Homo-oligomer: A and B are copies of this chain.
């Protein structure tokens, strides 16, 4: 059983009128996560991910692993963070990516890019084994690792940081038709993944920009904080990034003229890269006639830390965190009575029985935390639990003892209800809320 007293969660008290000190706090999710001791700023655009948030990060990693392996048919590997600048020169991106690239030069004078993305690196790996038979493809390889971007002005906390966790998948096919098929498969895996995360999202056409290639789609959480402007048809749902919008007044697909605009936070993207990188770096395969040909590539990214922060941004109120369904650090928080209160000893066995029963639920398991900081009042801990945003908070307090019966105050934070329930009803309500 996890106990809150054992979890390092240093809250940050931000005075309401501390305008100068708050200049770095540019989003609600950032402020709430700082206040609740989920993260701390380390430098300009760099953050400590503290233990409660680390659990959320681990859940996001597990969820992405599952969807990549089971629905996108992808294999996991690790590409080094340090990538030779020579490769970036060959692909032409040393110039186009420009100032956002961070680099280090080793003792032998070799310049290494701190990878913001790894098209060059993975293509060089494929080039090193080239050319292999067309039978070896499709190939879908992904990693989850730290990426770097020298933001001029990092902002919105984990949403636009200099150092962030990202999933990047690269696919290799023998032809453009096959690459498009792969594109469908991966986008379908993305749809499932974002539905599992539990935050409303939209998929829109995007610009291929510096990445290159022909086709691109972006996944966004609609939010006022979002830096992208999206243009979406209210009838068929077709949409695109504003920068792709040609200024026409009607939907290009269904001709409906009711076109809406909204801001969005980009949490995922997909590109068909064609042979831009494979040609430049020599990643070839042998076709059915034994002739070498350049591979057709795709790349697909999801910002892991951004996904969490964006989800919290969209779902939370100004005062309380609300987590995406799949990413809460714990699903259930139990609050026992204050130390020395008259009900303390009476309800203790009920608490233990509830802990036991709830932990046995397959939908809950080890996702229970007890707020055992019993030197604090129930009221203080309840406020804190609501602010941290555990989906279900159960108070085992005076109300239970007053009635002389086993009664629990069950706060469901997702639908914002509050019920006073007996033991077995409480277990059922928790099971219902968590599954």
A residues at B contact (CB < 8 Å): 6-8, 10, 40, 42-44, 46-51, 54, 57-58, 73, 75-84, 99, 102-104, 106-108, 110, 112, 114, 121, 124-125, 128-129, 132, 139, 141, 145-146, 148, 150, 152, 162-163
Please name the residue on chain B nearest to A141 by beta carbon: B8
Q: How far is the CA of A286 from the CA of B104 in the complex (A)?
A: 41
Q: How far is the CA of A47 from the CA of B84 in the complex (A)?
A: 12
Pick from B46, B75, B106: contact of A44, CB under 8 Å: B106
In the complex, what residues of B have CB within 8 A of residue A82's CB? 42-43, 46, 148, 162-163
Q: How far is the CA of A54 from the CA of B80 in the complex (A)?
A: 13
- Asked if A57 and B43 make an inter-chain contact with CB atoms under 8 angstroms apart, the answer reads no
Pick from B49, B103, B128: contact of A78, CB under 8 Å: B49
- Give 8 CB contacts A-B under 8 Å: A8-B75, A42-B80, A43-B82, A43-B84, A49-B78, A51-B75, A107-B150, A114-B114
13 new A-B contacts, CB < 8 A, other than A99-B107, A104-B104, A146-B146, are A42-B79, A42-B80, A42-B82, A42-B125, A43-B110, A46-B80, A48-B79, A48-B121, A54-B78, A57-B78, A80-B163, A82-B162, A102-B106
Q: How far is the CA of A6 from the CA of B73 in the complex (A)?
A: 9
- Asked if A114 and B121 make an inter-chain contact with CB atoms under 8 angstroms apart, the answer reads no
- Asked if B106 and A77 make an inter-chain contact with CB atoms under 8 angstroms apart, the answer reads no
Please name the residue on chain B nearest to A108 by beta carbon: B44
CB distance from A185 to the nearest CB of B (A): 14
A77 and B54 in contact (CB under 8 A), knowing A43-B82, A162-B82? Answer: yes
In the complex, what residues of B have CB within 8 A of residue A78's CB? 48-49, 54, 57
Please name the residue on chain B nearest to A80 by beta carbon: B46
CB distance from A319 to the nearest CB of B (A): 23
Q: How far is the CA of A128 from the CA of B141 in the complex (A)?
A: 40
Please name the residue on chain B nearest to A161 by beta carbon: B80
* Copies of this polypeptide in the complex: 2
In the complex, what residues of B have CB within 8 A of residue A80's CB? 42-43, 46-48, 163
- Asked if A8 and B44 make an inter-chain contact with CB atoms under 8 angstroms apart, the answer reads no
In the complex, what residues of B have CB within 8 A of residue A148's CB? 82
In the complex, what residues of B have CB within 8 A of residue A44's CB? 106, 108, 110
Q: How far is the CA of A152 from the CA of B141 in the complex (A)?
A: 31
Please name the residue on chain B nearest to A154 by beta carbon: B106
- Asked if A146 and B77 make an inter-chain contact with CB atoms under 8 angstroms apart, the answer reads no
- Asked if A76 and B54 make an inter-chain contact with CB atoms under 8 angstroms apart, the answer reads yes
In the complex, what residues of B have CB within 8 A of residue A132's CB? 10
Q: How far is the CA of A162 from the CA of B114 in the complex (A)?
A: 13
CB distance from A249 to the nearest CB of B (A): 41
Q: How far is the CA of A49 from the CA of B50 in the complex (A)?
A: 27
CB distance from A286 to the nearest CB of B (A): 14
In the complex, what residues of B have CB within 8 A of residue A84's CB? 42-43
- Asked if B163 and A75 make an inter-chain contact with CB atoms under 8 angstroms apart, the answer reads no
CB distance from A223 to the nearest CB of B (A): 25
A40 and B128 in contact (CB under 8 A), knowing A102-B104, A103-B104, A104-B103? Answer: yes
Please name the residue on chain B nearest to A43 by beta carbon: B84
In the complex, what residues of B have CB within 8 A of residue A43's CB? 80, 82-84, 110, 112
Q: How far is the CA of A44 from the CA of B121 in the complex (A)?
A: 14
Q: How far is the CA of A76 from the CA of B50 in the complex (A)?
A: 8
In the complex, what residues of B have CB within 8 A of residue A104's CB? 102-104, 114
Top 9 closest pairs, chain A to chain B, by CB: A46-B80, A49-B78, A51-B75, A10-B129, A104-B104, A42-B80, A102-B104, A54-B77, A54-B76
- Asked if A48 and B8 make an inter-chain contact with CB atoms under 8 angstroms apart, the answer reads no
Please name the residue on chain B nearest to A75 by beta carbon: B51
CB distance from A226 to the nearest CB of B (A): 24
In the complex, what residues of B have CB within 8 A of residue A58's CB? 76
In the complex, what residues of B have CB within 8 A of residue A40's CB? 125, 128
In the complex, what residues of B have CB within 8 A of residue A139's CB? 8
Q: How far is the CA of A73 from the CA of B6 in the complex (A)?
A: 9
CB distance from A85 to the nearest CB of B (A): 10
Please name the residue on chain B nearest to A84 by beta carbon: B43
